[in-house]
Amino acid sequence: MFPILLLLFIFVPIIEIALFIQVGGFLGLWPTIALVLITAVVGASLVRSQGLATLTSVQNRLQQGELPAQQIVEGVMLAVAGVLLLTPGFMTDCMGMTILLPA
């Protein structure tokens, strides 16, 4: 497990920096910064709204006396998506949106 995490901590920032350079060269500095900030704000609002819906669903299942296993998994995935969306970078934003948006 440690070697995989080590590789992720090495290669993800390298890929993100390369993407920043590519997008910055194409769009320019300020549009690139604006795009990163916009994705963070949109991602945070999506995570918040879907998180509240998941919390309501968990409460409903518990009131019915059922185990909210699926809703708990959804909550964990929302947390992961939130972390990815709030991390600056285009690759992590794409991964976070992929997790966040329903299939």
Closest CA to 100 of 61, 54, 68: 54
Residue 41's domain comprises: 2-100
Domain count, the chain: 1
**Residues constituting the chain:** 103
Q: From first to last of the 103 residues of the chain, give the pLDDT tens digit.
A: 888 999 989 999 999 999 999 999 999 999 999 999 998 898 888 888 888 888 898 899 999 988 888 888 988 898 899 889 888 899 999 999 899 887 5
Who's near 97: CB < 8 A, 6+ residues apart? 43, 81, 85
